[in-house]
Amino acid sequence: ERKAALAASTGPGATSDGHKVPLLANVGGPADVPAAVEAGAEGVGLFRTEFLFLDDSQKAPSEEKQVEAYRQVLEAFPEGRVVVRVLDAGADKPLDFLTPADEPNPALGVRGLRTLLDHPEVLRTQLTALAKAAEGLPVYLEVMAPMVADRQDAKAFADACRAAGLQAKFGAMVEIPSAALRARSVLQEVEFLSLGTNDLAQYTFAADRQVGAVSRLQDPWQPALLDLVSLSAEAARAEGKSCGVCGEAASDPLLACVLTGLGVTSLSMGAASIPYVRATLAKYTLAQCERAAAAARAADSADEARAAAQAVLSGE
Ligand code: PEP
Ligand code: MG
């Protein structure tokens, strides 16, 4: 039965009553594209560009090398959306030539957008390469910054995108609780939000994502995390803008229904999860997803939230 449901799982992501939720793929580079196309991804919701920077620990890759890699990914989704995240260096993704070596708490230090604002030439090269890669292609390019804390960060990123002449939508990842709490303010500077639930959980619960001993607090079903998702999605709705999820949370089929019920507008995940999420979402109406979301938020723990959502969706 599971196999049949998956085989029947094709086409755009939607609830059973036709509320569309585009299902996008997380990719780390051109090598991940075939699996994304095979899974029927409607585009890329998170292109992690760090891979390009791993070959040389002393300097950034040349503009030409970047154009080539970006173009390969953009070409794979004609008429589709491709959301590229600019370099997210530092903390769990350190780079020798960019990441300060002497920080007591690297996750709370100079990482993500903070690194790029300290090294504007690296950001400029990346944005210029993206502009060139997208030239003449019928793709909807969107570019977003990791680790945006507030409106000032969002403005600095949008200014850099404009200065590079980028014809794209500019967005902010919501990975820091301050950005979720003040999402409407952040949205004055950018056109979309994308929730990075891995880091958002880390910073909400003060639980290092690399420390297994605190993994209970990294569970994306934690009601406090669902509250921040809801705040962000509500803010985007009020501003008439989109708010996707590109963290691990989106790959859990039941949680994908809850996120949809919270008002999230697209879900991006590893390609292998797409058929499962598509098949599960197609079983429930938007109203059922909203009831499951409300039940999950009313819970007091991740386990209770999961059980409450399951109970609503299975009609118990
Ligand atoms: C996240 O933090 O949820 C995210 C999508 O980014 P990364 O896992 O690459 O930090
Ligand atoms: Mg992150």
Predicted pLDDT of residue 23: 98
Q: Which residue owns the Cα nearest ligand 1 atom 9?
A: 48
> What ipTM is given for this predicted complex?
0.99
3-state secondary structure of 138: coil
Residues with C-beta less than 6 Å from any ligand 1 atom: 46, 48, 88, 175, 196-199, 246-247
Q: pLDDT tens across 240-252, in order?
A: 999 999 999 999 9
Q: Which ligand has an atom closest to residue 246 CA? A: 1
User: Are the beta carbons of 49 and 126 closer than 8 angstroms?
Assistant: yes
Q: pLDDT tens across 71-90, in order?
A: 999 999 988 899 999 999 99
Residue environment code for 219-236, b if the CB has 16+ CB neighbours within 10 A, otherwise e: bbbbbebbebbbbbbebb
Q: What is the DSSP string of 107-131?
A: GGSS-THHHHHH-HHHHHHHHHHHH
User: 120-134 and 151-163 are packed helices; what angle lies between their axes, rounded to 10 degrees?
Assistant: 60
Q: Residue 135 has which token pair?
A: 């030239």
Residue 196 Cα to ligand 2 middle (Å)? 5
Run of H or E including 194: strand 192-195
Give the percent of the chain with pLDDT over 90. Answer: 91
Question: Cα-Cα-Cα-Cα dihedral of 256, 244, 228, 260, to 10°?
Answer: -30
Q: If you average pLDDT over residues 36-42, what whole number do you get? A: 96
Residue 2 has pLDDT above 70, yes or no: no
Give the percent of the chain with pLDDT over 70. Answer: 97
Predicted pLDDT of residue 7: 59
Query: Using 50, 70 and 90 to split pLDDT, how confident is the model at 1?
Result: low
> Which atom of ligand 1 is nearest the CA belonging to 199?
2
